[in-house]
Structure 1
Amino acid sequence: MSAPSSFDYAVVRVVPRVEREEFVNAGVILFCLERDFLGARIALDRERVRAIFPGADLDTIEEHLRSIPLICAGGEGSGPIGRLSARERFHWLVAPRSTIVQVSPVHAGLCDDPERALEHLVDRMVRLPAER
Structure 2
Amino acid sequence: MHVHETYDYAVIRVVPRVEREEFVNVGVILSCERARFLEARIEVDPVRLRALDPAIDLALVGRHLAAIPAICRGGEAAAPIGLLPPRARFHWLTARRSAIIQTSPVHMGRCDGDLAATLDHLMERMVRVARPAD
TM-score of the superposition, structure 1-length normalised?
Answer: 0.96
The alpha carbon displacement at 1:79 in A equals: 2.1
The alpha carbon displacement at 1:75 in A equals: 1.0
In 1, Cα distance between equivalents of 2:79 and 2:59: 20
Amino acid at match of 1:17: R
Aligned-residue Cα RMSD (Å) equals 1.2
Per-residue CA deviations over 1:8-31 (Å, capped at 9, x if unaligned) read: 000000000001000000100000
In 2, Cα distance between equivalents of 1:9 and 1:73: 16
In 1, Cα distance between equivalents of 2:36 and 2:23: 30
Number of equivalenced pairs: 131
| Structure 1 runs, 4 residues or longer, greater than 3 Å off | none
Unpaired segments of 5 or more residues in structure 1? none
Identity across aligned pairs (percent)?
Answer: 56
Aligned match of 2:57: 57
The alpha carbon displacement at 1:129 in A equals: 1.6
**Secondary structure of residue in 1 paired with 2:123:** helix
Aligned match of 2:121: 120
User: What aligned pairs does 1:1-132 form with structure 2 within 5 A after superposition?
Assistant: 1-111=1-111, 112-130=113-131
The alpha carbon displacement at 1:50 in A equals: 0.1
Amino acid at match of 1:119: D
In 2, Cα distance between equivalents of 1:33 and 1:129: 32
In 2, Cα distance between equivalents of 1:45 and 1:59: 13
